[in-house]
Structure formats: structure tokens, C-alpha cells
Structure 1
Amino acid sequence: MMMETRLQAALVNLSGLGAVVRFDMGDDGIYTIDARAAQPVLSTDSDATADCTIRISTENLNKLIDGQLDPMLAYTFGKIKVSGSLGIAMKLVNALG
């Protein structure tokens, strides 16, 4: 399944996050989720100011969404890099998992 479709399906779990989060997957692209409103919005806008940016490979993001990758271990081993609010990143990961 395409990453955009997978993230779109996960939006329902992100209402109430109250933040803008960017997934930077390098050459595979950038997705920004604006979850400040009741209905979160997914876009490929890389210019929006994000509260938190998560750098992760497409493969690892798929594993994270599937629950096959422990977010804390992935962060510890550098498979996930977070810039900005770590608290928002943790809320996001809990909502996705």
C-alpha cells in the first residue's frame, strides 16, 4: 500500500494531537500532518512550519504503522530521528500504534 494511503488511514487516530508533524523520508518524500484541527489533514507541503519533524525510512515507517517496530528502540538505534518536540513525537507514535 502506498505511504500516502497508509498515513491517510491513520489520520483518524491523530485528532486531538494539536500539532503539525512532518515525516521526512529522504528521497521517498515528505508528508506533513496538520493535526491542530478536529479533522487532521495530510499534505506534501514541506514549507509549513512543523512542531516536530521525524526522519525515518519508508520501510521503517511501514513497520511502525504495522506495530512491528518498537518506537523507543528505533529511536535509540537511530532508525528514527526527531527534531522539534519529542513529546509530540511520542504522542504521535502512541496514536499510530
Structure 2
Amino acid sequence: MTFQELNDGVTKAAANAPNLGKSIKLQLDEGVIFIDMTGDQARVSNEDKEADTTVTTTVDVLDQLRNGKINPMMAMMSGKVKIKGDMGLAMKLQGLLS
């Protein structure tokens, strides 16, 4: 999976995302995906803005998490995924990556 494929997939999934009143930033090796879920409809951009939760990882690791090849807890414990901010919000990210 490429960064652009991931970005397109998150943008498409965000159309059905609920208003959580929060934002998530995916800080990836190839760029940033910012998901703003504070309005009536979630908006996705590539702006590097402050977010309620920041997930730092790589496109490859996100793809492996999405496909079930890596356990999310093991990915965090091994340092492949770092989460700063609202952990509960990060757990809801799975729906946008499926």
C-alpha cells in the first residue's frame, strides 16, 4: 500500500465517520493525514496541524495492522506505533483503516 492509497481510503471512509468532536493525525514516514471529526462530516487533509491524538508509524505498519498481520498491542509495545493523546480515540481509528 502506498501513502496515496492509504490517504484515499481514509478519505473515503471518513465520509461515514461519526462526529466525535475530536481530530486524529497520522504522522507517517511519507507525510501526514489529518482527520477532523469535529463537524457534521469528517474532513481529511494533509495539513500538519495539532490534533487530539497523534499516531506515529509507517504506511507499511498501518497496512499490516489493517490486514491483521500485526497485533496492535504488540506494535505499540515494540515501538512500531506510537500514540500521543487520547488512546480511546486512537482505538476508533481501526474503522477508518478497514
- In the superposition, the TM-score normalised over structure 1's length comes to 0.80
Matched with 2:86 is 85
Whole-angstrom distance in 2 between the partners of 1:11 and 1:72: 24
Query: 1:17, 1:91 within 8 Å by CA — same for their partners in 2?
Result: no
Task: Report the identity percentage.
Answer: 31
The secondary structure found in structure 2 opposite 1:14 is coil
Distance in 1 (CA, whole Å) between partners of 2:37 and 2:89 is 11
Q: Does 1:6 align with 2:13?
A: no
Alignment: residue pair count: 94
Gaps of 5+ in 2: none
TM-score normalised by structure 2 residue count: 0.80
Q: What residue identity is the alignment partner of 1:20? A: S
RMSD over aligned CA atoms reads 1.9
The residue type equivalent to 1:55 in the other structure is: T
Gapped regions of structure 1 (runs ≥ 5): none
